[in-house]
Amino acid sequence: MLNFKSNVILAPLAGFTDCAFRRLCSDLGAGLTVTEMVSAKGLHYNNENTETLLKTAGESPCSVQLFGNDPDIMAEATTNEKLQKFDVIDINMGCPVPKIVKNGEGSALLNDIKLAEKIISKCVSVSKKPISVKFRIGFNQNQDICVDFARMCENAGASFITIHGRTKEDYYSGNARFDSIFKSAEQVKIPVFANGDIKTIDDYNYIMNNSNVYGVAVGRGALGNPSIFSQILGAPIIPKDKLILKHYEYLKENFNEHYIFTNFRKHLVYYIDGTKNARSTRNAIFTAQTIEQAIDFALNALK
């Protein structure tokens, strides 16, 4: 079983949780970080895009998140040599993105618990790494299969689970509903992480004081605020200007200029959210000619 560095982990976020951001969050106390979603079929066919997703930068412990709907290809992926540097293999059964769901992947598996069980058990049977599962409380608002799905994951051999308190149909709207997560945590013996709308230490305390979940998974709440991990853990808060520069340093160590220019601006917009001239600064960041210029706009907004 994995030894978590803390019970506050980083949830995977497509387009954001590259190795540079994961390392920053790990530095700040994240108990586990998780890659963006990696296609099991992409690994099977040696898709070039998976190489960037599988980059690591010394963050530890780190999990790789796989998605797919073919038990054999998913099991094969868990034994792929490119994944052996990771500490955990996480199976995504909660992604609500339409193109993923239409392919019968992600949260589509909430509608086929037998196939989901087959995928997990087959991965567990061949993997030398702990297998975890991330899923949502149901597919639509009239369906709450959270407890049954959690039990299935445990019976299939999952080492721990992360549950997002929304249905597939909710997407990211409305408020996360934690009651189902709390009930699930009472029904299984494996660690349960609650996910959704965790943005402050008060959110963390509410969850931990009202349930027996093992911990929380912070996703969008970490964007522009990776210090949420150190804040929850009682460590000193590092100013955002220093975080931006450290984040940029990690990016330069691992990615080319084009990647940094394309991706870091999205993060900068989150870093300056809530500042006095956030809207005009956001426009300036996205019209900047260089990433250094965009960073200067962000740093000036924080003064």
b/e per residue 272-293 (b: at least 16 CB within 10 A): beebeeeeebbebbeebeebee
Position 199, amino acid = K
Query: Which positions ≥6 away from 114 have C-beta within 8 Å?
Result: none
Position 294, amino acid = A
Tell me the C-alpha distance between 106 and 97, whole Å. Answer: 8
Range list of H helices, the chain: 19-27, 40-44, 49-53, 71-78, 98-102, 113-126, 146-156, 179-187, 201-209, 228-232, 240-254, 257-271, 278-287, 291-301
Query: Which positions ≥6 away from 85 have C-beta within 8 Å?
Result: 56
Give the bridge partners for 247, in sequence order: none
CA R_g for the chain: 19
Tell me the C-alpha distance between 214 and 121, whole Å. Answer: 23
For the chain, the residue count is: 303
Three-class SS state of 301:
helix
Catalytic site positions: 95
